[in-house]
Amino acid sequence: MDDATRTQLEAAAFRTLRAHLMEKRPEVQNIDLMNLAGFCRNCLSRWMQEAAAERGIPMSKEEARELFYGMPYEEWKAQNQTEASDTQQEAFKLAFEENVTKG
């Protein structure tokens, strides 16, 4: 398989993942994704921002989130996210340390 085709397939898979998380399963909380899988929607938007930076394309955190969420993040969050429990927040601290801080 040539690189261009592989890239097209990877992009299609990413779009499907995004649609699944945003349209089919918006009730799944970011904190639960992070705690269980080590990444969440915000990670995906950050990875888009990092990919842009690698290509010399300026993109702020807010711009990356709006690109991923299809609206300002705070608006999506108000529509779809619930308050995290103390247990979720404690688990998140560990997940964030392992998956984001340590990378």
Q: Looking at residue 25, which CATH number applies to its domain?
A: 1.10.3340.10
Q: Please state the domain count of the chain.
A: 1
The candidate with the shortest Cα–Cα distance to 31, out of 91, 97, 77, 103, is 91
Q: Which domain holds residue 30?
A: 3-101
Q: How many CA atoms lie within 13 A of 54 on its CB side?
A: 6
Half-sphere exposure of 1 (CA within 13 A, CB side): 8
Q: What is the pLDDT of residue 101?
A: 85
103, pLDDT greater than 80: no
Asked whether residue 78 carries a pLDDT value surpassing 80, the answer given is yes
> Is pLDDT above 80 for 24?
yes
Averaged over 37-48, what is the pLDDT? 96
Q: How far apart are the C-alpha atoms of 83 and 50, rounded to whole Å?
A: 28
**Per-residue pLDDT for 87 more than 80?**
yes
pTM metric for this prediction = 0.87
Q: Which of 64, 44, 65 has the alpha carbon at shortest distance from 53?
A: 64
Q: What percent of the chain has pLDDT over 70?
A: 99
- From residue 52, alpha-carbon distances to 38, 42, 44 in Å are 22, 15, 12
Q: How confident is the model at residue 54 (pLDDT cuts 50, 70, 90)?
A: very high
